[in-house]
Amino acid sequence: MDVADFREMFPPLNEENPPVYLDNACMTLRPKCVIDAVQNYYARNPSCAGRSVHRWGMSISQTVSRTRRKLADHIGAKDAREVIFTPNATHSINQVAAGLNWKRGDVVITSDREHNSNLVPWLQRTASGVELQTVKSRSDNQFDLEAFEEACANAGKSLRVVSLVHVGNLDGVEIPVAEAAKIAHDYGAIVHVDGAQSAPHMPINVEELGCDLFSFSIHKMLGPTGVGVLWGREEILSQLEPICAGGGTVESATADQYSLRPIPDRLEGGLGHYAGICGTEAALDLLARYNMQDFAEQETRLNRIMSEGIRHLPGVEIIGPENASLRGGICSILLENLDIQNVGILMDEVGGVFVRSGLHCVNQWFDARGIEDGSLRASAYAYNTEEEARTFVDTFSEIIDGLAE
């Protein structure tokens, strides 16, 4: 792909002396077309979908319908009705966890590299007798499929849900979801996938993955904040009790009873984030012009430069496999006897490099290893350049050398 041409679309990257933005696992930048789409909604078409029949209302209703179809296309889903708009991936996961009809003794299996958003909603279920089991990863953080299969077998008929991160925000390591889903389905489990770090960076086809539910956030894939997605098979979504009921979710209601509409309305309570959905459509239209595999390859290429450039430094350990191609665009670094937050601040002050420092909401992984302050994480996107990757290496090396003196 033409990275220089792609960068031209992002206003923050075209200012004088722009920063080296390597915090994309947290949030990507927005292209001008997305900014314009959000502004256009408020300036020219500020109305509600699915309610008013005037031209503004009909226009935004059509936008919501189009965007739902484009989201389905982006993840390889056949039926657009199975795409639910949510505020973010965290809300999507909570809707699944809180919306299922649980029985005491049901088992949920996750990995030990889950974002808190794919951990805490399941932990909350344990108060009502659900058992949460965690499958430990291998020493290099790759998924242990044998240990997972053993856990499923041990749970047996009690296994209700398997919920796994597709690509880890800690280390960029991908879980073999298709293989895991097949095993889980053999035991009758529902398979949910946290796709927050995969949907923005690589080709996704939920049918090929074999999962039943897939959650992701738009703010990590060039779109606005406040928009998330929950895709699920109709038979599962139709059984979920909404965690936000009322408004457009309701088919009929009296003083003492109610009935809910079919999906997607059933799970989309309250006024939608229509400006965000307009921006989402613009982001999807832009992404549709590119091959997502090219994005993945560009990010891996940058990670290889970063990883090879710093791994020799004293007191530096990169989390995950040594081969950068197994870590996508994420280079997450443990530092011996150095303050992670201080190094993160210095990266900006010394070289204008924006990275993230801390626990990255993967507290369980660090807690299990007795690491209190977390790691320094550089995460690339397709608009980052090889020159920026080398700037990261030079800046990081200068800081580490200086602090070691």
Contacts of 83 (CB under 8 A, 6+ apart): 68, 71, 72, 77, 229, 230, 231, 264
Separation between Cα atoms, residue 98 and residue 60, nearest integer Å: 30
C-alpha triplet 249, 252, 253: angle, nearest 5°: 100
Separation between Cα atoms, residue 172 and residue 190, nearest integer Å: 24
Marked catalytic residue, from 152, 211, 331, 361: 361
Nearest to 88 by CA among 195, 192, 219, 203: 219
In angstroms, the first-to-last Cα distance of the chain is 42
Q: Is 278 a catalytic residue?
A: no
Copy the structure tokens of residue 328.
């996508």
Copy the structure tokens of residue 76.
């390889």
Nearest to 112 by CA among 131, 91, 152, 139: 139
| Residues classed as catalytic | 361
